[in-house]
Structure 1
Amino acid sequence: MIDHPTRDVGFGVYIHWPFCASKCPYCDFNSHVRHQGVDQERFLAAFRREIAHTAARIPGRTVTSIFFGGGTPSLMRPETVGAILDAIGGAWAVAPDAEVTLEANPTSVEAERFRGYRQAGVNRVSLGVQALNDPDLKRLGRMHSVEEALAAVKVAASIFERYSFDLIYARPGQTPQAWAAELKEAIGHAVEHLSLYQLTIEPGTWFERLFNAGKLTVPDEETGRALYDVTQEVCEAHGLPAYEISNHARPGAESRHNLLYWRYGEYAGIGPGAHGRLVTGNARIATATEKHPETWLAQVEREDHGVIEEEILTTEAAGDEFLLMGLRLKEGIDPRRYEAFAGRPLNAGRARILEEEGLIRMDGTRLAVTEKGFPVLNAVIAELAA
Structure 2
Amino acid sequence: MLQLPPLSLYIHIPWCVQKCPYCDFNSHAVKQGIPEAEYIAHLLADLDQDLAIVPDRALHSIFIGGGTPSTFSAEGIAAILSGVRARIACEPNLEVTMEANPGTVEASRFAGYVAAGVTRFSIGVQSFQAAQLQALGRIHNPAQARRAAELATQLRQQGLNSFNLDLMHGLPGQNLADALADLQQAIDLNPPHLSWYQLTIEPNTAFASRPPVLPEDEALWDIQEHGHALLTAAGYQQYETSAYSKTGYQCAHNLNYWRFGDYLGIGCGAHGKITRLGNEVDATATISRTVKIKHPKGYMDLSRGYLDSTTVVEPDELPFEFFMNRFRLLEPCPKADFTAYTGLSVETVAPALARAVQLGLVSDTPLHWQITPHGVRFLNELLQLFL
- Category of TM-score, reference length = shorter chain: over 0.9
Instruction: Tell me how far 1:297 sits from its aligned partner.
Output: 1.0
User: Residue in 1 aligned with 2:375?
Assistant: 373
Query: Which piece of structure 1 moves more, 67-76 or 224-233?
Result: 224-233
Partners of 1:75 and 1:108 in 2: how far apart?
A: 6
Q: Which amino acid aligns with 2:240?
A: E
Change (3 A) 1:221 1:314: same
Partners of 1:111 and 1:221 in 2: how far apart?
A: 40
The DSSP-based 3-state class of the residue aligned with 1:112 is helix
CA contact (8 A) 1:164 1:195 kept: yes
User: Residue in 2 aligned with 1:265?
Assistant: 261
Structure 1 outlier segments of 4+, above 3 Å: 108-112, 346-350
> Does structure 1 residue 204 correspond to structure 2 residue 238?
no
Q: Deviations over 1:183-214 (max 9, x none)?
A: 12211113310011100011111111221xxx
Query: Which piece of structure 1 moves more, 135-144 or 340-349?
Result: 340-349
User: Residue in 1 aligned with 2:384?
Assistant: 382
The DSSP-based 3-state class of the residue aligned with 1:181 is helix
Q: 2:289 aligns with which of 286, 289, 294?
A: 286
Q: Which amino acid aligns with 1:59?
A: P
Q: Deviations over 1:68-127 (max 9, x none)?
A: 000000011111111111121122111220000000001264443111101111111000
CA contact (8 A) 2:149 2:191 kept: no
CA contact (8 A) 2:100 2:123 kept: yes
User: Residue in 2 aligned with 1:362?
Assistant: 364
CA contact (8 A) 2:71 2:104 kept: no
Partners of 2:366 and 2:146 in 1: how far apart?
A: 43
User: Residue in 1 aligned with 2:282?
Assistant: none
Change (3 A) 1:284 1:348: closer
Partners of 1:115 and 1:83 in 2: how far apart?
A: 15
The answer for unaligned runs of 5 or more in structure 1 is none
User: Residue in 1 aligned with 2:127?
Assistant: 131
The DSSP-based 3-state class of the residue aligned with 2:232 is helix
The DSSP-based 3-state class of the residue aligned with 1:190 is coil
Partners of 2:161 and 2:151 in 1: how far apart?
A: 12
Partners of 1:315 and 1:252 in 2: how far apart?
A: 35
The DSSP-based 3-state class of the residue aligned with 1:97 is strand
Change (3 A) 1:328 1:46: same
User: Residue in 1 aligned with 2:20?
Assistant: 24
> Does structure 1 residue 62 correspond to structure 2 residue 92?
no
User: Residue in 1 aligned with 2:171?
Assistant: 171
Q: Give the TM-score normalised by the residue count of structure 1.
A: 0.93
Partners of 2:138 and 2:344 in 1: how far apart?
A: 46
Partners of 1:181 and 1:286 in 2: how far apart?
A: 41
CA contact (8 A) 2:356 2:362 kept: yes
CA contact (8 A) 1:108 1:152 kept: no
CA contact (8 A) 2:268 2:296 kept: yes
Query: Which piece of structure 1 moves more, 355-364 or 257-266?
Result: 355-364
User: Residue in 2 aligned with 1:95?
Assistant: 91
Instruction: Tell me how far 1:364 sits from its aligned partner.
Output: 4.2
Instruction: Tell me how far 1:291 sits from its aligned partner.
Output: 0.8
Partners of 1:182 and 1:45 in 2: how far apart?
A: 40
Q: 1:49 aligns with which of 28, 31, 45?
A: 45
CA contact (8 A) 1:67 1:257 kept: yes
User: Residue in 1 aligned with 2:300?
Assistant: 297
Partners of 1:261 and 1:137 in 2: how far apart?
A: 29
Instruction: Tell me how far 1:334 sits from its aligned partner.
Output: 2.1
Query: Which piece of structure 1 moves more, 188-197 or 320-329?
Result: 188-197
Q: Which amino acid aligns with 1:357?
A: L
Instruction: Tell me how far 1:34 sits from its aligned partner.
Output: 2.5
The residue correspondences of 1:204-223 to structure 2 (distance < 5 A) are 204-211=204-211, 216-223=212-219
Over aligned residues, Cα RMSD in angstroms?
A: 1.6
Partners of 1:56 and 1:133 in 2: how far apart?
A: 48
Q: Which amino acid aligns with 1:296?
A: Y
Query: Which piece of structure 1 moves more, 104-113 or 195-204?
Result: 104-113
Query: Which piece of structure 1 moves more, 169-178 or 64-73?
Result: 169-178
Q: Give the TM-score normalised by the residue count of structure 2.
A: 0.92
